């Protein structure tokens, strides 16, 4: 399929290019000391990802440990309630072990670390979701796991901190600056510079310097590959639309990669939060501009000084001031339409899915559900496949505190 001069039959061969660019976006803008380490990861990945042994081991782990394939559920009651005839479906990444899609790339990254002979994995975490997934993978493979976390976040995220510790990870408290995610990223990068001979850095989304946007997309593409096959088997055809929420963009890229070469409308949903004023949302592709941060060129939200702007979302997994370079590219060429959902519609969707379908979604995923419901109201006929990136257990305390339990 050709779309705006981009040939999608050969898309995955050509994007990213050898230097990690998706058009103008991506690349590797990091200190020379780190460049060597990233090159080592990139070279190892290019060889290992083609090895039969690696592929079959990852397949086995996905089946026996992660619980894959995850099913697609027909959201029949919710579709009936909307009443336009449009049918909604959900790809159930919430049924992954640990409750979200993040394990898809963490198992891949740590298996790669093992093949490279590394003893340790290093990462930062904000809300703790990436840290828990990585600590799980490290425990499974028997590697050490160092998680850098801001002191403020450690206080806020006590249950996830406990989970990581129970899984055997070492939590390194970062007390610089605002003591949150940004400082944790800096500290983790600095540690990686010191320890790269024995350790590998594991990024939590399709962001960061090359080869991470490529690698994480590849590991997450299992979502789209399974979903396409399952959907055709269930309904005899392709969905008319596919929807996923976009923070860094890994669950979305995994889902979208299965449908880029198909006549399917694709929607990436960003958090509009409390509204369009700077600081009230985290809709980087909708409101941002081109810039470099965390080692890659993409579209980002900047403050007056050109630094990453403060962002907000009701979903802690979506409050990142940029998105992966491939999303910036797909945005510019128009293959994926990026739109937004605000907090209120997100919480309505959270309750709708819980009450009508018996599925309590993560607040992140509820953004995609809300948009799927909106599409179903306007489309008139057809089908919408939603990527349900995770379950809502982690959000219970927050929902009860902020919104109460609805009658």
Ligand X SMILES: *Cc1c(COP(=O)(O)O)cnc(C)c1O
- The residues of the shown chain that bind ligand X, judged by CB under 6 A, are 100, 102, 129, 205, 245-252, 317-318, 362, 364-365, 389-390
Of 213, 195, 196, nearest in space to 205 by CA: 213
Distance (Å) of CA 54 to CA 59, 112, 278: 9, 8, 44
Nearest residue (CB) to ligand X, 250 versus 322? 250
Cα dihedral: 306, 310, 316, 319 (round 10): -30
Cα–chain-centroid distance for residue 270? 12
Nearest residue (CB) to ligand X, 87 versus 93? 93
Backbone angles phi, psi at 252, to 5 degrees: -65, -45
Q: Which of 73, 91, 93, 102 is catalytic?
A: 102
Q: How far apart are the first and last CA of the chain?
A: 48
Peptide linkage before 334 cis (omega within 30 of 0): no
Q: Among all residues, whose Cβ is closest to ligand X? A: 390
Nearest residue (CB) to ligand X, 249 versus 295? 249
Reduced to 3 states (helix: H, G, I; strand: E, B; else coil), residue 75 is coil
| Beta carbon of residue 45, minimum distance to ligand X (angstroms, whole number) | 19
| Beta carbon of residue 389, minimum distance to ligand X (angstroms, whole number) | 3
Say if residues 246 and 318 touch (Cβ distance below 8 Å): yes
Q: Can you list the alpha helix ranges (DSSP code H) found in 142-283? A: 151-156, 158-166, 181-195, 212-220, 222-235, 250-257
| Beta carbon of residue 405, minimum distance to ligand X (angstroms, whole number) | 21
Is 102 tagged catalytic? yes
Non-local CB neighbours of 132 within 8 Å, separated by 6+ positions: 98, 125, 160, 163, 164, 167
Nearest residue (CB) to ligand X, 73 versus 87? 73
| Beta carbon of residue 62, minimum distance to ligand X (angstroms, whole number) | 18
Q: Which of 93, 124, 326, 364 is catalytic?
A: 124
Nearest residue (CB) to ligand X, 114 versus 130? 130
Distance (Å) of CA 13 to CA 61, 319, 359, 381, 403: 26, 31, 37, 35, 46
Is 290 tagged catalytic? no
Nearest residue (CB) to ligand X, 251 versus 298? 251
| Beta carbon of residue 252, minimum distance to ligand X (angstroms, whole number) | 6
| Beta carbon of residue 315, minimum distance to ligand X (angstroms, whole number) | 7
What residues are annotated to the active site? 102, 124, 389
């Amino acid at each position: 399929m050709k779309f705006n001069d981009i040939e999608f039959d050969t898309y995955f061969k050509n994007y990213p290019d050898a230097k990690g660019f998706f058009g103008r976006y991506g690349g590797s803008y990091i200190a020379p000391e780190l460049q060597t380490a990233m090159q080592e990861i990139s070279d190892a990945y290019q060889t290992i990802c083609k090895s039969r042994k690696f592929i079959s081991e990852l397949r086995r782990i996905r089946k026996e440990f992660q619980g894959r394939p995850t099913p697609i559920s027909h959201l029949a009651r919710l579709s009936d309630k909307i009443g336009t005839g449009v049918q909604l479906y959900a790809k159930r990444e919430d049924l992954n072990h640990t409750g979200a899609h993040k394990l898809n790339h963490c198992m891949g990254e740590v298996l790669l670390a093992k093949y490279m002979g590394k003893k340790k994995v290093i990462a930062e975490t904000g809300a703790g979701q990436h840290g828990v997934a990585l600590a799980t993978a490290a425990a499974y493979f028997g590697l050490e796991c160092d998680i850098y976390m801001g002191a403020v976040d450690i206080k806020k995220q006590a249950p996830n901190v406990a989970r990581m510790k129970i899984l055997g990870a070492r939590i390194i408290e970062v007390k610089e600056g605002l003591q949150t995610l940004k400082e944790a990223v800096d500290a983790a990068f600095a540690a990686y510079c010191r320890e790269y001979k024995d350790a590998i850095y594991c990024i939590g989304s399709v962001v960061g310097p090359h080869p991470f946007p490529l690698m994480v997309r590849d590991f997450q593409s299992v979502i789209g590959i399974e979903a396409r096959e399952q959907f055709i088997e269930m309904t005899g055809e392709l969905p008319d639309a596919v929807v996923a929420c976009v923070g860094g963009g890994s669950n979305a890229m995994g889902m979208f990669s299965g449908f880029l070469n198909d006549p399917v409308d694709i929607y990436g949903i960003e958090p509009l939060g409390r509204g369009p004023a700077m600081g009230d949302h985290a809709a980087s592709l909708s409101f941002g501009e081109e810039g470099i941060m965390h080692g890659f060129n993409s579209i980002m939200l900047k403050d007056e000084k050109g630094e990453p702007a403060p962002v907000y979302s009701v979903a802690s997994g979506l409050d990142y001031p940029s998105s992966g370079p491939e999303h910036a590219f797909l945005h510019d060429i128009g293959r994926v339409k990026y739109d937004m959902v605000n907090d209120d519609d997100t919480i309505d969707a959270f309750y709708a899915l819980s009450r009508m379908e018996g599925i309590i979604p993560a607040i992140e995923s509820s953004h995609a559900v809300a948009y799927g419901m909106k599409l179903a109201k306007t489309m008139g006929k057809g089908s919408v496949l939603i990527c349900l990136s995770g379950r809502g257990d982690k959000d219970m305390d927050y929902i009860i505190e902020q919104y109460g339990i609805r009658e």
